[in-house]
């Protein structure tokens, strides 16, 4: 599918405004999108690890920021680690808005697929080439899982572990028709075909917070797209603050509300049935 088709399709997309302080041009067939906000040493450690395992030879690294003020995204440092692009969202919204910026940018530049990994350095980036291999093999949605054979969960907060295993993953599995095990994971990959499908339509302003992750986990298998989980390692620190943007009772209730709205079809495009 050519980039020209994507540009034509993008005419009706709703994408937050953003600045582009760094763009070195497309080199690879796949993009690696990393959403961040004040991740400090965590994003720097992640990028250093990616350099060690030669991730830039597999995918173009594009960071999408939503206003970091901690100095962690100095352009000279990013370029030294092989980062091809830095997008700074200036419009409203949080994670889903960030992803809409980066995904629309990548699709319009002709990337065949997009891998996303959180910028908080909880995920081991070693399997990134495996995610790309799965996309090349014809899968449309590749989800990281610490809970399947070969996966590893370290120091996961007990409340989060139980919420994923007993509520989030079972509910999405039941309503989507695909057996998911690790549905709150931001480490995942999407095919170009999936993101451009008008029945999916991810470029809408309804996706501002964490809606897009739950929605795609529900919508992709429901529409018959090929999905797979790959084993990964996710490590939480053994002490100190937990690096997460979802915290407290209010944050967790928001995640549950989004989950049930997603499986009820509330985020489906208006032109499609909710069933």
pLDDT, tens digit (0-9, with 9 covering 90-100), for 25-35: 999 999 999 99
Quote the mean pLDDT of the chain: 93
Angle between helical axes of 95-108 and 211-222 (0-180°, round to 10): 60
CA–CA distance, 18 with 84 (Å, rounded to integer): 16
12-67: pLDDT as tens digits: 999 999 999 999 999 999 999 999 999 999 999 999 999 999 999 999 999 999 99
Q: Give the closest residue to 184 by CA, choosing from 262, 129, 250, 112.
A: 262
155-214: pLDDT as tens digits: 999 999 999 999 999 999 999 999 999 999 999 999 999 999 999 999 999 999 999 999
pTM for the model stands at 0.93
Neighbours of 184 (CB within 10 A): 18
The CATH superfamily assigned to 3-263 is: Spore Coat Polysaccharide Biosynthesis Protein SpsA; Chain A (3.90.550.10)
144: burial class by Cβ within 10 Å (0-12, 13-18, 19+)?
buried
Q: Are 246 and 141 in contact (CB under 8 A)?
A: no
Q: How far is CA 185 from CA 149, 161, 257, in A?
A: 16, 12, 17
What is the pLDDT confidence band of residue 1, given thresholds at 50, 70 and 90?
very low
Residue given tokens 């030294």 in the structure block: 80
Query: Tell me, what's the pLDDT at 10?
Result: 83
99-110: pLDDT as tens digits: 999 999 999 999
CA–CA distance, 73 with 65 (Å, rounded to integer): 9
Query: Tell me, what's the pLDDT at 184?
Result: 95
């Amino acid at each position: 599918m050519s980039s020209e088709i994507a540009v034509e399709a993008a005419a009706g997309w709703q994408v937050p405004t953003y600045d582009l302080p760094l763009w070195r041009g497309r080199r690879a067939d796949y993009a690696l999108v990393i959403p961040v906000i004040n991740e400090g040493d965590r994003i720097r450690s992640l990028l250093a690890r990616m350099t060690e395992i030669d991730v830039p030879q597999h995918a173009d690294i594009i960071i999408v920021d939503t206003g970091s003020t901690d100095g962690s995204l100095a352009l000279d440092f990013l370029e030294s680690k092989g980062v091809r692009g830095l997008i700074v969202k200036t419009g409203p919204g949080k994670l889903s808005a960030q992803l809409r910026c980066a995904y629309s940018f990548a699709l319009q530049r002709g990337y065949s697929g997009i891998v996303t990994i959180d910028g908080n350095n909880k995920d081991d980036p070693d399997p990134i080439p495996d995610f790309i291999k799965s996309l090349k093999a014809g899968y449309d949605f590749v989800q990281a899982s610490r809970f399947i054979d070969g996966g590893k969960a370290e120091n996961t907060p007990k409340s989060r572990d139980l919420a994923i295993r007993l509520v989030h993953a079972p509910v999405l599995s039941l309503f989507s028709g695909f057996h998911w095990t690790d549905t709150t994971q931001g480490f995942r990959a999407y095919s170009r075909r999936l993101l451009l499908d008008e029945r999916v339509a991810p470029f809408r302003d309804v996706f501002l917070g964490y809606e897009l992750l739950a929605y795609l986990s529900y919508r992709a298998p429901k529409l018959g797209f090929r999905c797979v989980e790959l084993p990964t390692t996710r490590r939480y620190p053994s002490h100190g603050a937990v690096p997460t943007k979802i915290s407290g009772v209010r944050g967790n209730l928001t995640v549950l509300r989004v989950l049930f709205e997603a499986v009820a079809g509330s985020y489906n495009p208006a032109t499609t049935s909710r069933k």
